[in-house]
């Protein structure tokens, strides 16, 4: 077959590997990699355009839905296993065109619940926050001054595709603060100092929950911009939780408070 790739040294495979490994290559080509049927389905539903699809028929089976307009190549199991990060992705890997992920692209409801992450570095943490955000029905996740590429394969994998199901934007902290103030969205910063217990803080109106890194927390810029500072009680000997755990606790408190409110 003309579209059958049998060698791991094939130029198309090498280009795919570069997209997986190098954020600079993703930016240069305007492409990123999605692995797995479920993740790709969420990606297509979110309006992303698939450029190239790589299928391993012995793993994917015959009933793979091929997005319109994309190129399709079949690969052997040897080639696929070299590319795949997981053995349970059903023989499907795609190169997908990037979209703008800016504040201007967000469409928010009347009482949005937004999660803001400042300078979160680990793709796994960001992916876990996105999974919780999907579960909590969060309106958007905004990543400020990002230290990780939003199209990082580790982020996409750890989010299980939630990076496509939750509206996501990247910007500077200055831009985000101005956006929230302009839209009359209260800013709640998660911090230990000068703060109130999170469950005593109203979250029923338009709300942004702002989280920093575990090592340094939030910058003074966000502390000054906040309408209120909130904290999760720490009853043990340690003084911090993983950022994804903290975010989940605060998101679902907002969900609890909003139950029954139209």
Give the pLDDT confidence score for residue 1 in this predicted structure: 46
Give the per-residue pLDDT at 88: 64
Instruction: Show which of 97, 127, 148 is a domain's final residue.
Output: 97
Residue 195 tokens, joined:
């703060």
Note whether 23 and 113 are same-domain residues: no
Same-domain status, 91 and 187: no
Indicate if the pLDDT at residue 89 is higher than 80: no
pLDDT greater at residue 260 or residue 227 = 227
- The more confidently predicted of residues 248 and 148 is 248
Range of the domain at 180: 103-258
pLDDT band at 216 (very low <50, low <70, confident <90, very high): confident
**Cβ distance 247 to 129 under 8 Å?**
yes
Residues 22 and 76 in one domain: yes
Cβ contact 70:94 at 8 Å: yes
Find the mean pLDDT for residues 184-211: 95
53-57, 90-94, 147-151, range with the lowest pLDDT: 147-151
Q: What was the pLDDT predicted at 198?
A: 95
Residue 57: the pLDDT is 87
Higher pLDDT, 239 or 24: 24
Q: Are residues 129 and 228 in the same domain?
A: yes
Number of domains observed in the structure of the chain: 2
> Has residue 178 got a pLDDT over 80?
yes
Query: Reading across the β-sheet that carries 113-118, which strands appear in turn?
Result: 168-171, 140-144, 113-118, 207-211, 186-190, 228-231, 196-197
Q: Which residues contact 73 (CB under 8 A, 6 or more apart)?
A: 3, 4, 5, 12, 52, 53, 54, 55
Mean pLDDT of the chain: 91
Are 123 and 87 contained in the same domain? Answer: no
State which of 58, 82, 97 marks the end of a domain.
Answer: 97
Whether the predicted pLDDT of 227 surpasses 50: yes
Among the listed residues 63, 99, 66, 72, the one whose alpha carbon sits nearest the alpha carbon of residue 3: 72
Rounded mean pLDDT, 138-150: 91
237 vs 109, which has greater pLDDT? 109
Q: What is the pLDDT of residues 28-68, one digit of tens each?
A: 999 999 998 889 999 999 999 999 999 998 888 777 788 88
**For residue 70, what are the contacts with CB-CB under 8 A and spacing of at least 6?**
49, 50, 51, 52, 53, 94
- Model pLDDT, residue 204: 96
Per-residue pLDDT band for 118 (boundaries 50, 70, 90) equals very high
**Which of 97, 130, 147 is the last residue in one of the domains?**
97
> CA nearest 176: which of 120, 250, 102, 98?
102
CATH code, domain with 21? 3.30.1330.30
Same domain, yes or no: 127 and 236: yes
pLDDT for position 121: 82
Q: Tell me the pLDDT band of 146, cut-offs 50, 70 and 90.
A: confident
Whether 169 and 57 map to the same domain: the answer is: no
- What's the pLDDT band for 260 if we cut at 50, 70, 90? confident
As a whole number of angstroms, the distance between CA 262 and CA 220 comes to 35
**Domain at 163, CATH number:** 3.40.1280.10
**Is residue 59 located within the same domain as residue 127?**
no
């Amino acid at each position: 077959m003309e579209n059958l790739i049998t060698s791991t040294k094939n130029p198309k495979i090498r280009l795919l590997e570069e997209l997986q490994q190098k954020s600079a290559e993703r930016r240069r080509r305007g492409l990123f990699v999605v692995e797995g049927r479920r993740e790709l389905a969420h990606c297509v539903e979110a309006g992303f355009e698939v450029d190239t699809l790589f299928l391993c028929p012995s793993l994917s089976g015959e009933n793979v839905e091929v997005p319109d307009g994309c190129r399709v190549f079949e690969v052997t199991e040897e080639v696929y296993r070299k590319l795949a990060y997981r053995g349970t992705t059903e023989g499907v890997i795609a190169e997908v065109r990037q979209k703008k992920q800016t504040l201007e692209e967000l469409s928010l409801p009347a009482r949005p619940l937004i999660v803001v992450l400042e300078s979160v570095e680990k793709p796994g943490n960001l992916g876990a926050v996105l999974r919780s955000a999907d579960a909590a029905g969060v309106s958007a996740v905004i990543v400020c001054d990002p230290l990780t590429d939003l199209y990082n394969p580790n982020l996409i994998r750890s989010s299980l595709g939630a990076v496509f199901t939750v509206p996501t934007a990247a910007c500077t902290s200055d831009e985000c603060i101005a956006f929230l103030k302009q839209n009359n969205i209260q800013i709640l910063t998660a911090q230990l100092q000068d703060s109130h217990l999170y469950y005593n803080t109203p979250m029923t109106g338009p709300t942004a929950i702002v989280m920093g890194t575990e090592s340094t927390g939030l910058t003074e810029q966000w502390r000054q911009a906040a309408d209120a500072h909130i904290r999760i009680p720490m009853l043990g000997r340690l003084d911090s939780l993983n950022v994804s755990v903290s975010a989940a606790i605060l998101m679902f408190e907002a969900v609890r408070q909003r139950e029954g409110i139209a």
